[in-house]
A and B are shown apart, each in its own frame.
Chain A
């Protein structure tokens, strides 16, 4: 496909369960971002990868959140011991380069509901 894809599109987890969210960026895109979008809010930055290197994880809300991009393409966001406040849409975006004016292409998101 030509765009950013994310899976699953919807995830329901019981409080305390671990979840893994996948992002397939556009082929060849160097930069990859994860954002968290709570209901009625704008997306908030979580973490940034340049190829396989995680250069910024300042937005991760706690040590229960972990992200990786081992081969510089697909990325996984893992949330351990999920809490109700983790319920949100998780968006992945990729850009072709590393410039601040590069367009970020967004995936459709994964809607996580923690019961």
Chain B
């Protein structure tokens, strides 16, 4: 079975500062990894995904994530935070078997301080 751990349920950064949201996964088979963002009262929107083509993945809105197999990590970063980045972020894993459902972490709420 696969699982996802997101360190820090709440992260605050100043506008213009580096954003770093941590995600570690557990999987017995090579995983597919995703980062989703959720704004209040909205559905989840895909930021980026890792599908084994490249370890450094670039997504929308200036976000990127690096897959590190040795650390079983897939941390999300953005060089400079913007007020509009304030939202909840979910890391998720899918494995190439079964119904391909996503297994999500508990989420990290990002606050951006002006």
Which residues of A approach B to under 8 Å, CB–CB?
A: 3-4, 31, 33, 35, 40-45, 48, 55-56, 59, 91, 93, 98-109
Contacts and interface: CB of A to CB of B under 8 A. Distances in A.
B105 A106 contact: no
User: Does more than half of chain A's interface fall in helix, strand or loop, or is it mixed?
Assistant: loop
A40 B106 contact: yes
A104 B106 CA distance: 18
Given A100-B94, A106-B43, A56 B104 contact: no
Contacts of A100: 32, 94-97, 100
Contacts of B82: none
Given A91-B44, A100-B32, A56 B107 contact: no
Interface string B99-113: 111111111000000
A43 B100 CA distance: 14
Nearest to B33: A101
B44 A106 contact: yes
Contact of A43 (B42, B45, B97, B104): B104
Nearest to B45: A106
B101 A48 contact: yes
A59 B103 CA distance: 11
Given A45-B102, A91-B43, A100-B100, 17 more contacts: A4-B43, A35-B102, A40-B9, A40-B106, A42-B106, A43-B44, A43-B104, A44-B104, A48-B99, A55-B99, A99-B100, A100-B96, A101-B94, A102-B100, A104-B102, A106-B43, A106-B45
A101 B104 contact: no
B49 A108 contact: no
B80 interface: no
A45 B36 CA distance: 15
B43 A56 contact: no
Contacts of B106: 40-42
